[in-house]
Homo-oligomer: A and B are copies of this chain.
Amino acid sequence: MSGKAGEIAIEGSASAASVERLQFGALPTTLGYKLRRVQLAYKRHFTFSAPDSDFQLHDVGVLSLIARNPDVTPSALAASLTIDAAQITNILKLLDAKGLISRRKSPSDSRSRVLRLTALGQREHERLNAIIQEVEQSFIGDALSPEEISQLLGLLERLEVVARSRD
């Protein structure tokens, strides 16, 4: 941990109040708290970096999986991304309305849909990937080295695997 434990500076226009630094106690050593903070910071950074992009973070994952798994079904996407069926439907409906994906009935089971990227969807997918790479780079900045980033990803991966096995 860097910095003096338990304290944090707050900005603001020099309030006459007695508090300029708050005692944080054990809060910053709580994983749930830290995860939430960093994730929120990431989302804000994304929104700020790509303000007019007309897509959401979830779209990146969905487009990416469809691109790599042609004829994947919505339910397979839902299971893989741990998103519920209703949410997947909304995302796919929007992507469909934008002409980025096709949703056809499965030949083998008419209840299922098979998903593919359109030519436009493929181009958009590549464009989004470039944006995301840039957002990642600028978010991390020089805070972590490449080794530390993969270390971080590895630790998060292990938490996720254990959490998923507990479902």
Instruction: Please give the residue numbers on chain A whose beta carbons come within 8 Å of chain B beta carbons, in ascending order.
Output: 1-3, 8, 10-12, 15-19, 22-46, 57, 60-61, 64-65, 67-69, 71-73, 75-77, 79-80, 82, 106, 108-109, 112, 129, 132, 135-136, 139-144, 148-164, 166
Contacts and interface: CB of A to CB of B under 8 A. Distances in A.
Contacts of A45: 163, 166
B160 A41 contact: yes
Contacts of A40: 82
Contacts of A67: 25
Contacts of A151: 151, 155
Contact of A22 (B18, B32, B80, B132): B80
A112 B1 CA distance: 34
A34 B162 contact: no
Give the number of copies in the complex. 2
B37 A38 contact: no
B72 A158 contact: no
Given A31-B42, A32-B57, A44-B163, 19 more contacts: A12-B76, A12-B79, A17-B76, A19-B71, A19-B72, A22-B76, A22-B77, A23-B68, A23-B69, A27-B64, A29-B153, A32-B42, A33-B61, A35-B35, A35-B38, A38-B160, A140-B159, A141-B166, A151-B155
B76 A10 contact: yes
Give the 5 A-B CB pairs with smallest separation, nearest first: A41-B163, A143-B162, A23-B68, A10-B79, A39-B39
A144 B149 contact: no
